[in-house]
Amino acid sequence: MIAKLTSSERQTAVVIVLLVAIAGIAMAAAGRNAPLGVHGLVVILFAGALLYSLLSAFYAPEPTEEREESYYDDPIKVGIVLAMAWALFGMFMGVWIAAQLAWPNLVFDAAWSTFGRLRPTHTTGVIFGFGGNALIATSFHVVQRTSRARLAGQISPWFVLFGFNLFCVLAVSGYLIGITQSKEYAEPEWYADLWLVVVWVTYFLLYIRTLARRKEPHIYVANWYFMAFILVVAILHIVNNLALPISWGSAKSYTIWPGVQDAMVQWWYGHNAVAFFLTAGFLGMLYYYLPVRAGRPIFSYRLSILSFWGITFFYMWAGSHHLHYTALPQWVQTLGMTFSVMLLVPSWASAGNALLTLNGAWHKVRDDATLRFMMAAAVFYGISTFEGSFLAIRPVNALSHYTDWTVGHVHAGALGWVALISFGSIYTLVPSLWKRERMYSPALIEWHFWLAIAGTLVYVFAMWNSGILQGLMWRTYTEEGSLAYSFLDTLVAMYPYYIARTLGGFLFFAGTAIGCYNIWMTIRLVPATVVSEADLPATRAAPAGE
Amino acid sequence: MDLDYDTLVAFSKSWGLFYLMGFFLCVVVYAFWPSNRKHFTRAKTSILDQDDKPWR
């Protein structure tokens, strides 16, 4: 890693890490024994670990080869390993909290392990830890290959990757000690949010500067989706997290948005986080890795452009469907509902485009579990976007909202679409990045695939049953006009579904664990591909053990 | 002029629609413009050429 940096770049990296460490010391000093002080310590330890690895290779020989002759793949490799590690952590937490709902004793009587604190560690772990690292890694890969240019920076890719992971570590460790600003998918407090702005702006500049170096005349559509992801997430993050800390020595802050505006801003953010974090970037993966793996160009490039602008412009307005029957003006609710229904058109255009690309390659889908991951992801994308449009309709929402149906819908998208397309992309990437002939075991990819499909289906069907049952019980009246069921009655009715959901989540988690093992063994054991003469740099400079 | 809630609502309900339709037309024209076809065809097939070095 560090051997690929020149000595002046190593110095710059040390300075950056020292600045981060100083910020950590300032946080620890200002926060003292308060939660902010604990986070100061976390920042110091994180910077210290990076500083240690930088300094231990500080006097290693400088790179002698022309770096512009090769793609910059080291940050991508680290990003993929981090993504899989976060997947293990986040999905384990998911299984744990699912089990807590069925068996409350699994809280073990501690404050840090209550459902309310562990739930955001699951959502942050899988969305930002797993999804975010997978997005950063694949976006670095796709932008280089489709532009036929090396990343426009030597340190900035590392800054983006480690800076983002510092944000995730601050987020997850904060929840356990009770730090949260109570905004869904935006729980981290003001200092972590400010840090993410710095990281994200660097990411945006790096991406756009790499595109500016491109040798291809046209910017391939996958990059459009990645750009939309980076740009819009920056806007959403800044607007939603505008807040004032109660003092410089406190982790606690209050949002500047009052009342119903706060609710609207939160769900404008929340739904667009689904749109641009969990959809746009992953569509970028779909539009690159699926054609590459299938060996066929995308079915219709025009359609991919139309659906890109459709998704970008429609999603922006859909957030208010989270606030049906609230104090939000009726016309804003209707606007959100209408745009959500319209969203079905560009969403199905993308799903259909992906599936039609596979027309003529179905034998590959049958034989190659990696391609099948991506095919199944496109199918689940189609299903969950249909479900989403349906749930956004006000009378349907009256039944579904606040029930497990919503949870089932989210997981149909997150497990079936986001995770499956990521695994398909990662299985495509790993052998080519580490220059291996193939994955360690195709049979284990099959196991992973079927465990993931079984887990998703068990989970989603359990939540459909549970959610509709719950919604119907809540709205059942007796002849006297009072509610027929108490809240406790609904919990008893949902008990078997909670057990089924835990099982489904466990199956999915088991598949991920198998995937991690397979990737690890590929890196460790599978023989390297024979490199042709033309592919070698003039002088061998990279030391062994890279 | 007084920029109150009703003014903003009237603006978004009228011009909001027009600009979305206008934008849609621009995108359709771009996607179907005949001379863009060769760029698109090249873009979608060139990702399948996997060479592992940046171009100089």
What does the domain layout of chain A look like in residue ranges?
1-59, 72-477+485-527
In a domain, residue B25? The reply is yes
Q: Does B49 map to a domain?
A: no
Q: Quote the CA–CA distance of A250 and A87 in Å, as a whole number.
A: 31
Residue B22 within any structural domain of the chain: yes
In a domain, B55, yes or no: no
Nearest by CB: B39 against A71, A218, A295:
A218
Of A218, A292, A309, the CB nearest to B43: A218
HEC assignment per residue over A20-73? HHHHHHHHHHHHCCCHHHHHHHHHHHHHHHHHHHHHHCCCCCCCCCCHHHCCCC
Please determine, looking at this structure, whether the domain spanning A72-477+485-527 carries the CATH number 3.40.50.300: no
Which residue range is the domain that position B38 belongs to? 5-44
Domain count, chain B: 1
Please, which residues have CB within 8 angstroms of residue A183's CB and are 6 or more apart in sequence?
Answer: A240, A241, A255, A266, A269
What 3-state class would DSSP assign to A168?
helix
Say if the Cβ atoms of B43 and A216 lie within 8 Å: yes
What SS3 class is residue A83?
Answer: helix
ipTM: 0.91
Residues of chain A in contact with residue B44, where contact means CB-CB under 8 angstroms, are: 220, 291, 297-298, 301
Q: Does A295 touch chain B if contact means CB atoms closer than 8 Å?
A: yes
Neighbours of A196 (CB within 10 A): 26
Q: How far apart are CA A131 and CA A133, in angstroms?
A: 6
Q: Which residues of A are annotated as a binding site for Cu cation?
A: 271, 321-322
The gap between the terminal CA atoms of chain A, to the nearest Å, is: 7
pLDDT per residue as tens, chain A (546 positions): 788 899 999 999 999 999 999 999 999 999 988 999 999 999 999 999 999 999 999 998 888 878 888 999 999 999 999 999 999 999 999 999 999 999 999 999 999 999 999 999 999 999 999 999 999 999 999 999 999 999 999 999 999 999 999 999 999 999 999 999 999 999 999 999 999 999 999 999 999 999 999 999 999 999 999 999 999 999 999 999 999 999 999 999 999 999 999 999 999 999 999 999 999 999 999 999 999 999 999 999 999 999 999 999 899 999 999 999 999 999 999 999 999 999 999 999 999 999 999 999 999 999 999 999 999 999 999 999 999 999 999 999 999 999 999 999 999 999 999 999 999 999 999 999 999 999 999 999 999 999 999 999 999 999 999 999 999 999 999 999 999 999 999 999 999 999 999 999 999 999 999 999 999 999 998 888 766 555 544 444 444 444
Is A252 an interface residue toward B (CB < 8 Å)?
no
Burial of A243 (0-12, 13-18, 19+ CB in 10 A): middle
Task: Say which of B40, B55, B56 has its CB closest to residue A301.
Answer: B40
Residue B21 domain flag: yes
